[in-house]
Amino acid sequence: MPDTADFLRLEKLQVHFPIQGGLFDRVLGRPAGTVRAVDGIDLDVGRGEIVALVGESGSGKTTVGRVITKLAHPTGGRLLFEGHDMTSERGASALRPYRHRVQMIFQDAYQALNPRHTVFDIVAEPLRSLRLVKNDTQLAERVSEALASAGLNPPGDFFARFPHELSGGQRQRVVIAGALAVRPELIVADEPVSMLDVSIRSQILQVLVDLRDKHNMALLFITHDLPLAWLIADRIAVLYLGRLVEIGRADDITFNPRHPYTVALSNATPKVRVGVSHIDLPALEGEVPSAARIPKGCRFHPRCPMAIDRCRQEDPPAVEVGPQHMSACWRAGEVKARSELLGVARSSSVEPLERRLVSSLVKDRCRSSISAEAGVPDLPDPIRGP
């Protein structure tokens, strides 16, 4: 691990939301239960490092981002920034120095821009609120600079525009400019390109990568897309049901995953394969259980094709499986073999019979999985309530 302890560190971070019970529950004082959105996460981000947080919806990846940007408050664990404990800091004025250095980019740029503010006001807002400029000339300079580095040129043309007058890509650039305006050291980007057209995505990614290269800005990139994470990140952290299941260098996670969930995620990702015919890998069955009813033992065991008795009883700790590579799986050592097996099954050189054996083996394991868990209702978003 690089010496990252002095920048951003999450220690056993925990965000539990109480479930609001009905009137009767409240009157009778019945406990309605908790949603364990984030359930003990350790993560370091180094200066100038790009870390991707990958997971499905309900994995808690967005909540982690909101804790770091102080939009959600942890119920346990610590958030350390340059060694300072930021866990319980609250209030706009107390957080001003922190906000100056940690900013956020949102997924839906249309929602993230106040429809009644002009682009200038939007980008100027953090500069004004954090009192980073002395006069209006300086303000206009900083706004221009931010718009230009987000790729909106010439900046002056955009000052007076309203969000609805911009294209989707331009809106996302305005959101980025708003975050850049204060020259932060860490940006949390929550699915910044998932709502954009394919041809615009790469442009926005380029802007983000340039920021790191030019200003040594660290980036926590939250996404559901493993190949995208591989493309942009130095390290990838894979989340499942509020827990980190695997973390390591982008190449290691992509080519040498050591957790069955990462393997499943990677198999499920649609791929552009050149010159290879379609070979159906067994899709992982079932769906992510609700964060209010987390399975006992390893939380992935009901869907895991490799689950053994131990997985049903004991929660596996994260263990080192390689340089800078941690996996929380009792059978992490065997995952490698298995993923190789699957990898072999994918290439056309394997005998059809063997291929069938592999896939039926995995299928059987899948079948013994969670038909009970399938189709759990969507819970209300834990942050926003019902």
Partner 1 sequence: MSESTVQSLSRGRTRALKNFLRQFLGHGGAQLGLLCLVLFLVMAAVPNILVGPLQTAINATGDFLASPSSQHLLGTDEVGRDVLNLVVHGARISLTIALLATVISLIVGTTVGMTAGYFGRWVDDWLMRLTDFFFVMPSFVLALVITPVVLEVMGRGGEILGFRPSLFVIIVVIGMTSWAFVARIVRSQTLSLRERTFIDRARVAGSSNLSIMVRHILPNLVPQIAANGALVVAGAIYVETSLSFLGLGDPLQPSWGTLLSLAQSAGAASAGAWWYLGAPGLCVLTVSLSFVLIGNALDDTFNPRRRVIP
Partner 2 sequence: MTGSLQDKASLLEVDGLSVEYRLNGLSLRAIDDVSFALRAGEAIGLVGESGSGKTTTAMAIAGLLSPNARVSSGEVRYRGERLPIDDDAAMRPHRWSETSVVFQGAMNALNPVHRIIKQIAEPCRLKLGMSRGGATARARELLELVGIPADRGFAYPHELSGGMRQRVMIAMALACRPSIVIGDEPTTALDVIIQAQILKLLGELRSQLNLAVILITHDLSVVAEACDRVMIMYAGRIVEDGTVAEIFAQPKHPYTKLLIDSIPNPANGKKMIRPIPGDPPNLVNRPSGCAFHPRCPSAIGICATEFPSLDEFGQGRVACHLHRSSQEDKVAAHA
Q: Which residues bind partner 1 (CB under 8 A)?
A: 66, 69-71, 92-93, 95-96, 99-100, 103-104, 106, 108, 111-118, 120, 125-126, 129-130, 136-137, 139-140, 156, 159-162, 175, 178-179, 384
Residues 6+ apart with CB under 8 A from 221: 50, 51, 52, 53, 189, 192, 208, 229, 232, 233
> Is the Cβ–Cβ distance between 220 and 45 less than 8 Å?
yes
Stretch that binds partner 2, among 118-126, 306-314, 315-323, 371-379 (CB under 8 A): 371-379
Q: Is 284 in the site for partner 2 (CB under 8 A)?
A: yes
Select 79 or 366, whichever has its Cβ closest to partner 2: 366
Nearer to partner 2, 127 or 205 (CB): 205
Q: Is the peptide bond before 154 cis (omega within 30 degrees of 0)?
A: yes
Binding flags for partner 2, 139-168, as an x/- string (CB under 8 A): ----------------------------xx
Instruction: Number of helices (H) and strands (E) in the chain: give both, helices first.
Output: 14, 12
d(CA 236, CA 246): 8
Structural element, H or E, at residue 355? helix 352-367
DSSP codes of every residue in 191-240: STTTTS-HHHHHHHHHHHHHHHHHH--EEEEEES-HHHHHHH-SEEEEEE
Contact with partner 2 (CB under 8 A) among 20, 22, 57, 314: 57
Indicate whether 249 belongs to the interface with partner 2 (CB under 8 A). no
What, of partner 1, partner 2, none, does residue 254 touch, CB below 5 to 8 Å by kind? partner 2
Quote the least distance from Cβ 69 to partner 1, whole Å.
5
Cβ–Cβ contacts within 10 Å for residue 24, how many? Answer: 8
In this chain, which stretch among 36-44, 108-116, 354-362, 376-384 interacts with partner 2, using CB under 8 A? Answer: 376-384
Coil, helix or strand for 127? helix
> How many residues touch partner 2 (CB under 8 A)?
51
The three-class DSSP label of residue 19 is coil
Asked whether 152 and 158 are in contact (CB, 8 A), the reply is yes
Work out what residue 318 binds among partner 1, partner 2, none; the CB cut-off runs from 5 to 8 Å by kind. none
**Tokens matching residue 262:** 């990462």
Binders of partner 2 among residues 167 to 206 (CB under 8 A) are 167-170, 197-203, 205-206
CA-to-CA distance for 222 and 78, rounded, in angstroms?
20
Q: Is 23 in the site for partner 2 (CB under 8 A)?
A: no
| Residues near partner 2 (CB under 8 A) | 56-57, 167-170, 197-203, 205-206, 209, 224-228, 230-232, 254-255, 264-265, 267-275, 277-278, 280, 283-285, 287-288, 371, 374-378
